[in-house]
């Protein structure tokens, strides 16, 4: 074997995705393992492996309703009874991996948030787990860095449609890493050796002389659990519960309904524009967070905004509708700002029709609601945009800032960022400054 072919084999990557009955490593069981091997350029080698494993009855009985629903929608649940044993699954995974990675412990484990997968692999298929290097390529690390450093990259991640099936999820993780390679990393052939060494020298942390640390003049509150993985996991779980709760609010006549404490829709109340936009925004975020099932709810909201809520005659959007007709036909800046937010989030999530909706909503917000003289948004009009209410409010301007920031992010157009900064500057540097930094909410034209 030549040195170049040896390097090629040693550069290969083992991609793994697992589905479980839950995330409790003492109680829950592996139910699906998928494996793909790629070369260094992320080209898939062979057909891969996707095995379904029959779990113990007690693991099935203890599944959380959310997990039951997830595996039902994906079709995995009905396959479990015919699944194989862990020993059979391990043998198939090893047979495939050994073809392309003949030496154990060399190829890194790769995937999205694969730390949890490794825990279950170590427990249930230890021989296969030992074939993996201790090193890990976690695509979610790129995602988290993009979110902090390059938000436009984060909000334009390729759409996912894997539906919580392991092999499809791996393929999408590979595509996601290709995306980060293209938009985050430097162009080939990369820096010269001299450039790399200079960068390393400039960033090297050298030992500093020991100096006494001055006591803090003001005690800083410390919340030790705030950054723990367990807390972040709890937050993600709570968010998913809320999204599933909200998914019951879809109205067949358009928009989203109010829900009572038990999650039952209240169809006696009309569908509100602001509520529909907020729900659409939330479901788009759910999709962006890696839960593609929520994309269809965002699509319903966007379709409602392009349909039943849209005033085909005078432009803009009705404040509330029911049974396909307007209930409140006034045009409110508060709600129109949320149309922009919903469309921007839909565009970030790659949902159909979102770009056209965003273009139209920004045009209405710009031409109808923005007062160039005041540098702020007016509050409301009648249906024809003929009569403007004399009241002015900070609330609608606050949400206009929120919407314009989202629009600037997904479009890359500086004018929307400048507009948002202008509104915020007047509210803070003028109104709040003159009021001992308390911000009044209600104003008139003057």
Helix/strand/coil (H, E, C) string of 39-104?
CCCCCEEEEEEEEEECCCHHHHHCCCHHHHHHHHHHCCHHHHHHCECHHHHHHHHHHHHHHHCCCC
C-alpha dist (Å) from residue 265 to 36, 255, 260, 288, 373: 44, 12, 7, 26, 43
User: Count of domains in the chain?
Assistant: 2
Q: Residue 216: what pLDDT?
A: 44
Closest by CA to 351, choosing from 173, 156, 212, is 156
CATH code of 50's domain: 3.30.420.10
With cut-offs at 50, 70 and 90, classify the pLDDT of residue 147: confident
Answer yes or no: is 159 within a domain.
Answer: no
Same domain assignment for residues 433 and 295:
yes
Answer yes or no: is 167 within a domain.
Answer: no
Segment 230-257 mean pLDDT:
92
Residue with the two structure tokens 């790659």 = 350
Segment 113-121 mean pLDDT:
93
Segment 135-153 mean pLDDT:
91
Q: Residue 223: what pLDDT?
A: 74
With cut-offs at 50, 70 and 90, classify the pLDDT of residue 12: very high
Answer yes or no: is 193 within a domain.
Answer: no
- Selected catalytic residue, list 96, 100, 134, 180: 134
Same domain assignment for residues 131 and 254:
no
Assign 3-state DSSP to the chain and report helix, strand, coil percentages, each to 5.
50, 15, 35
Please report how the helices 229-246 and 273-288 are oriented relative to each other, as an axis angle in degrees rounded to 10.
130
Query: If DSSP codes are grouped into helix, strand and coil, which group holds residue 440?
Result: coil
**Dist. CA 16–CA 37, nearest whole Å:** 9
Q: Residue 25: what pLDDT?
A: 86
Q: Residue 1: what pLDDT?
A: 43
Residue 388: pLDDT above 70? yes
Answer yes or no: is 154 within a domain.
Answer: no
Residue 291: pLDDT above 60? yes
Q: Which residues contact 83 (CB under 8 A, 6 or more apart)?
A: 31, 51, 52, 53, 54, 55
Residue finishing a domain among 111, 137, 163 = 137
Segment 431-446 mean pLDDT:
89
234: tokens are 């709890």
On the CB side of 370, how many CA atoms lie within 13 Å of its CA?
18
**Dist. CA 293–CA 167, nearest whole Å:** 17
**Dist. CA 285–CA 138, nearest whole Å:** 21
Cis link prior to 234 (omega < 30° from 0)?
Answer: no
Same domain assignment for residues 127 and 259:
no
Answer yes or no: is 151 within a domain.
Answer: no
Element (H, E) at 366: none
With cut-offs at 50, 70 and 90, classify the pLDDT of residue 9: confident
Q: Residue 142: what pLDDT?
A: 94
Which domain covers residue 30, as residue numbers? 3-137
Segment 256-277 mean pLDDT:
95
**Dist. CA 69–CA 85, nearest whole Å:** 24
With cut-offs at 50, 70 and 90, classify the pLDDT of residue 153: confident
296-309 tens-digit pLDDT: 999 999 999 999 99
With cut-offs at 50, 70 and 90, classify the pLDDT of residue 232: confident
Q: Residue 220: what pLDDT?
A: 52
With cut-offs at 50, 70 and 90, classify the pLDDT of residue 17: very high
Answer yes or no: is 112 within a domain.
Answer: yes
- For every residue of 218-279, DSSP letters joined together read SPPP--TTTT-HHHHHHHHHHHHHHHHHHGGGB-TTSSB-EE-TTS-EETTSPEEHHHHHHH
Mean confidence (pLDDT) of the chain: 90
Q: Residue 10: what pLDDT?
A: 79
Segment 44-51 mean pLDDT:
95
With cut-offs at 50, 70 and 90, classify the pLDDT of residue 433: very high
Percentage of the residues of the chain whose pLDDT score is greater than 70: 93
Answer yes or no: is 198 within a domain.
Answer: no
Residue 4: pLDDT above 70? no
Please report how the helices 139-149 and 166-183 are oriented relative to each other, as an axis angle in degrees rounded to 10.
40
Q: What are phi and psi of 285, to 5 degrees?
A: -65, -40
pTM of the model: 0.53
Answer yes or no: is 229 within a domain.
Answer: no
CATH code of 346's domain: 1.50.10.10
Residue finishing a domain among 137, 156, 183 = 137
With cut-offs at 50, 70 and 90, classify the pLDDT of residue 155: confident
Active site residue 134: yes
How far out from the chain centre does Cα 147 lie? 10
165-210 tens-digit pLDDT: 889 999 999 999 999 999 888 787 777 777 777 777 776 666 554 4
Residue 372: pLDDT above 90? yes
Same domain assignment for residues 283 and 429:
yes
Segment 438-446 mean pLDDT:
87
Using CB atoms within 10 Å of the CB of residue 118, give its burial: 0 to 12 exposed, 13 to 18 middle, 19+ buried: middle
Segment 142-148 mean pLDDT:
91
With cut-offs at 50, 70 and 90, classify the pLDDT of residue 15: very high
Percentage of the residues of the chain whose pLDDT score is greater than 90: 71
Residue 215: pLDDT above 70? no
Residue finishing a domain among 82, 117, 137 = 137
Segment 390-414 mean pLDDT:
95
């Amino acid at each position: 074997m030549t040195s170049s072919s040896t390097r090629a084999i040693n550069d290969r990557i083992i991609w793994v995705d697992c589905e479980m009955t839950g995330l409790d490593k003492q109680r829950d069981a592996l139910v699906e393992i998928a494996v793909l091997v790629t070369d260094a350029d992320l080209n898939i080698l062979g057909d891969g492996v996707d095995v379904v494993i029959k779990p113990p009855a007690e693991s099935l009985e203890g599944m959380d309703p959310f997990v039951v629903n997830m595996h039902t929608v994906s079709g995995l649940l009905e396959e479990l009874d015919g699944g194989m044993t862990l020993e059979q699954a391990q043998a198939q995974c090893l047979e495939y991996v050994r073809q392309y990675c003949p030496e154990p412990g060399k190829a890194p484990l790769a995937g999205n948030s694969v730390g949890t997968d490794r825990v279950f692999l170590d427990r249930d298929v230890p021989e296969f787990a030992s074939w993996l290097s201790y090193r890990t390529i976690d695509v979610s690390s790129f995602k988290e860095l993009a979110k902090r450093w390059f938000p436009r990259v984060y909000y334009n991640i390729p759409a996912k449609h894997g539906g919580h099936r392991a092999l499809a999820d791996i393929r999408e993780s590979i595509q996601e890493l290709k995306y980060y390679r293209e938009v985050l990393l430097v162009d080939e052939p990369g820096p010269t050796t001299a450039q790399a060494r200079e960068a390393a020298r400039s960033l090297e942390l050298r030992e500093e002389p020991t100096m006494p640390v001055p006591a803090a003049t003001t005690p800083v509150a410390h919340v030790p659990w705030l950054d723990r993985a367990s807390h972040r996991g709890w937050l993600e779980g709570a968010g998913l519960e809320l999204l599933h709760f909200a998914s019951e609010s879809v109205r067949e006549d358009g928009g989203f309904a109010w829900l009572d404490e038990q999650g039952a829709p209240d169809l006696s109340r009309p569908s509100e524009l602001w509520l529909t936009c907020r729900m659409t925004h939330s479901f788009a975020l759910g999709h962006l967070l890696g839960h593609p099932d929520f994309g269809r709810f965002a699509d319903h909201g966007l379709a409602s905004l392009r349909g039943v809520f849209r005033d085909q005659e005078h432009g803009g959007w009705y404040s509330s509708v029911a049974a396909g007709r307007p209930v409140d036909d006034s045009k409110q800046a508060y709600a129109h700002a949320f149309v922009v937010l919903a469309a921007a989030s839909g565009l970030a999530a790659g949902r159909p029709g979102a770009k056209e909706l965003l273009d139209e909503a920004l045009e209405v917000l710009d031409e109808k609601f923005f007062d160039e003289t005041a540098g702020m948004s007016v509050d409301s009009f009648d249906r024809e945009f003929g009569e403007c209410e004399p009241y002015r409010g900070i609330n609608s301007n606050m949400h206009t800032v929120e919407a314009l920031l989202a629009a600037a992010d997904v479009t890359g157009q500086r004018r929307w960022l400048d507009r948002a900064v202008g509104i915020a500057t007047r509210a803070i540097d003028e109104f709040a400054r003159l009021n001992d930094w308390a911000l009044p909410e209600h104003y008139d034209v003057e």
